[in-house]
A and B are shown apart, each in its own frame.
Chain A
Amino acid sequence: MIEKPTLLSNSFRFITIAMLITWLVLPLIPLAIWSFAKGWFFPHILPKYWSLKAWEYALSDTAGVLDSLWLTIFISAVATFLSILIGVPAGRALGMYKFKGKEIVELLILAPTIVPGIAVVLGIHSVFISIGLTNTVTGVILVHLIPTLPYMVLVMSGIFANFDAEFEDQARSLGASPIKTFWYITLPAILPGIIVGGLFAFLVSWSQYILTLLIGGGRVLTLPLLLFNFATSGRNDITGAIGMIYILPGIIILLLTAKHLSGRSAVGGFGQI
């Protein structure tokens, strides 16, 4: 049943939306203005002169922004794909079965979200040196799995906790092979979880800085690294333009998957935490 909106719930909704805008959208406005500004100094509210120069530079070959964009998309996409590949069976095991030491496994999976990445990555760094994975894209992708996997596994274990495996038995009994059973029965049921978990994994990988810097050794130049370089060199206009490019994929993915973020899939995921 849908409740009638009351004055209280209406004002509550208004306040929530206002706060979301304040924290999420307002900080981006100066960034957007900077990217079109030609000098913007105190005490002016808006820049005196406008220019497309920062954008021209950001999109030119010499800046390397586009190369970096493609590389970052590649790394995040592969890290997401691997997270799904590992997270789906792991989530199934945690969500559906009882086994010895399950609590310890759950804790270990949550650990990367609690323990600072830099503490872990220093140990991994020395291991990666010895097997030649430092300064490589492969190494960066692998190290990105540390923070992406927990989200994927948590969301999937929530999905599988609500999944009735007897549907699979029923399909097998009706003549479906294990592969067809997964394709026709299991996959449609867990797809919302894969989308939500994959979205988290992609965005977590997308925003990695420290892990990429340490394992990539500055050779694997993803967008956040590039952005940081320009930010520290004081070019606010170019930083603004790259910043805009940097947040774009997040917004696009969010819009594409918005309908899966509501309702039972997202709740199922967080219900486990």
Chain B
Amino acid sequence: MTHVSIKKLTKIYPGSTEPSLDNLSIEIESGSLTALLGPSGCGKTTTMKMIAGLLSQTSGDVTFDNISILNEKPENRGVVMVFQNHLLFPYMNVLDNIGFGLKMRNVDKEEIHQRVIEMLELVKLPKLEKRMPKELSGGQQQRVALARALIVQPKVLLLDEPLSNLDAHLRFEMRDLIRNLQQSMGITTIFVTHDQEEAVVLADKVALILDGKLKQYDEPDVFYKRPIDEATARFFGGQNFINGASKNGLFESSVGKFKIPEICMKGKGILTFRPENIQISNSKSTLNSVKAKIIEKIFLGTQTRLKLSIDSEIIQVIANPNEVENTETGVEIFINFPPSSLWVMPK
């Protein structure tokens, strides 16, 4: 179990004036699974390589249990990185690939063999030790790469886009596998991804990095309920933004006054709410209810997406198909905003 702390970590590549990673500071609980989330080129892989020792930092520090690791060589850090494209050594079979880390630690051959067999059971690939990497499917290669990393029992495990190359059903299998192994072995794990869904399904905590800067570091659901700003909300699929001002527990805007949670900020701001948290009804209710006109209705199978206009504002709503069965484009309906689903961000 290792507590990782990243302190003001900065990377400026030679020949560039803008930092690729700018003063990143996060505390990672020992044994937790943390996602570094951001679009490609935001500095997340750079961060990972600096932790692994494969890239030198410009400034800042990384500590494991309060001891700086930045002066250690990559092979002595107790960090193993699993790359996105698996990088199984093509000249070695599965046994030698998974056993590579142990061989480098001078573990004897018998023991390596036994531990690889055990590891293959854990990643649910029994009896594949003789196969060559090119004889494995993408999903199997990924599990071999994971086994190869876990077998050395690293202090910190780094995963680069662990689910992104997999199709939907494999994603959940792999997600469960990573979670179970990580939990049972208690390895502090950090992974990077550009996919907010991947971050949300896998991580205990998510660090959103945009343009090299940490935007928000929180539990996954907070990014949906209480995003720190519009860019963050948009990254997580937020679509509804209404300008106005917040005072005395009310948000005043051109389309009406809404009761908002007490903890919301005061002053000029942007009101946001998730498309899936809006209620639709035929009659006006007492609280936070406004009249809206349907301008587009798209049936998506398990849900129906509505585009509504409230005066000049356009909002997106996701509704249960049964609820909106009898409505159609051009019809006026009432929408209710439960106060707890509203959130105000600074402008």
Residues of A that sit less than 8 Å from B by CB: 164, 166-167, 169-177, 180, 184-185, 188-189
Contact residues in A for B91 (Cβ distance below 8 Å): 188-189
The A contact surface, by secondary structure, is helix
Once the chains are docked, how many angstroms separate the CA of A105 from the CA of B152?
43
Contact residues in A for B74 (Cβ distance below 8 Å): 169, 172-173
Q: B255 at interface (Cβ–Cβ under 8 A)?
A: no
A167 in contact with B81 (CB, 8 Å): no
Contact residues in B for A173 (Cβ distance below 8 Å): 52-54, 74-75, 79-81
| CB nearest neighbor in B for A191 | B91
| CB nearest neighbor in B for A177 | B75
Report B92-136 residues with CB < 8 Å from chain A CB: 100-101, 104-105
Known: A174-B149, A174-B152, A185-B89. Contact between A169 and B81, CB under 8 A?
Answer: yes
Cross-chain pairs A/B with CB under 8 angstroms, 28 sampled:
A164-B87, A166-B83, A169-B49, A169-B54, A169-B81, A169-B83, A170-B81, A170-B89, A171-B104, A172-B73, A172-B74, A173-B54, A173-B75, A173-B79, A173-B81, A174-B75, A174-B80, A174-B101, A174-B148, A174-B149, A174-B152, A175-B105, A176-B100, A177-B104, A180-B104, A184-B89, A188-B91, A189-B91
Contact residues in B for A184 (Cβ distance below 8 Å): 89, 100
Contact residues in A for B148 (Cβ distance below 8 Å): 174
Kindly count the residue-residue contacts between A and B in the assembled complex, taking CB atoms under 8 Å apart: 58
Q: Smallest distance from the beta carbon of A217 to chain B beta carbons, Å?
A: 47
B100 in contact with A172 (CB, 8 Å): no
A174 in contact with B100 (CB, 8 Å): yes
Contact residues in A for B87 (Cβ distance below 8 Å): 164, 166-167, 170
Once the chains are docked, how many angstroms separate the CA of A178 from the CA of B2?
26
B89 in contact with A172 (CB, 8 Å): no
Once the chains are docked, how many angstroms separate the CA of A67 from the CA of B299?
90
A176 in contact with B81 (CB, 8 Å): no
| CB nearest neighbor in A for B91 | A188
Contact residues in A for B52 (Cβ distance below 8 Å): 169, 173
Select the residue from A164, A174, A176, A180 with max chain B CB neighbours within 10 A: A174
Contact of A171 among B49, B73, B100, B152 (CB under 8 A): B100
Contact residues in B for A175 (Cβ distance below 8 Å): 75, 101, 104-105, 152
Known: A164-B87, A166-B87, A167-B87. Contact between A172 and B80, CB under 8 A?
Answer: no
Contact residues in B for A177 (Cβ distance below 8 Å): 73, 75, 104
| CB nearest neighbor in A for B158 | A173
Contact residues in B for A188 (Cβ distance below 8 Å): 91
Contact residues in B for A170 (Cβ distance below 8 Å): 81, 83, 87, 89
Contact residues in A for B100 (Cβ distance below 8 Å): 171, 174, 176, 184
Once the chains are docked, how many angstroms separate the CA of A188 from the CA of B91?
7
Once the chains are docked, how many angstroms separate the CA of A167 from the CA of B92?
13
| CB nearest neighbor in B for A174 | B101
Once the chains are docked, how many angstroms separate the CA of A192 from the CA of B192?
36
Contact residues in A for B53 (Cβ distance below 8 Å): 172-173
Once the chains are docked, how many angstroms separate the CA of A65 from the CA of B73?
55
Contact residues in A for B79 (Cβ distance below 8 Å): 173
Q: Smallest distance from the beta carbon of B78 to chain A beta carbons, Å?
A: 9
Once the chains are docked, how many angstroms separate the CA of A171 from the CA of B54?
11
Once the chains are docked, how many angstroms separate the CA of A177 from the CA of B72?
12
Select the residue from A166, A170, A188 with max chain B CB neighbours within 10 A: A170
Q: Given A172-B74, A174-B149, A174-B152, output 12 extra A-B contacts at Cβ < 8 Å.
A: A164-B87, A167-B89, A169-B52, A169-B54, A170-B81, A172-B53, A174-B104, A174-B148, A175-B101, A176-B75, A177-B73, A184-B89
Sorted nearest first, the 8 A-B pairs with minimum C-beta distance are A174-B101, A175-B104, A172-B74, A170-B87, A173-B81, A176-B104, A188-B91, A169-B54
Contact residues in A for B89 (Cβ distance below 8 Å): 167, 170-171, 184-185
Report B37-55 residues with CB < 8 Å from chain A CB: 49, 52-54
Once the chains are docked, how many angstroms separate the CA of A173 from the CA of B90?
17
Contact residues in A for B49 (Cβ distance below 8 Å): 169
Once the chains are docked, how many angstroms separate the CA of A26 from the CA of B304?
81
Once the chains are docked, how many angstroms separate the CA of A164 from the CA of B148?
19
Q: Smallest distance from the beta carbon of B137 to chain A beta carbons, Å?
A: 20
Once the chains are docked, how many angstroms separate the CA of A93 from the CA of B143?
34
Once the chains are docked, how many angstroms separate the CA of A167 from the CA of B81?
11
B83 in contact with A172 (CB, 8 Å): no
A172 in contact with B54 (CB, 8 Å): yes
Report B149-208 residues with CB < 8 Å from chain A CB: 149, 152
Once the chains are docked, how many angstroms separate the CA of A164 from the CA of B83?
12
Q: Smallest distance from the beta carbon of B284 to chain A beta carbons, Å?
A: 61
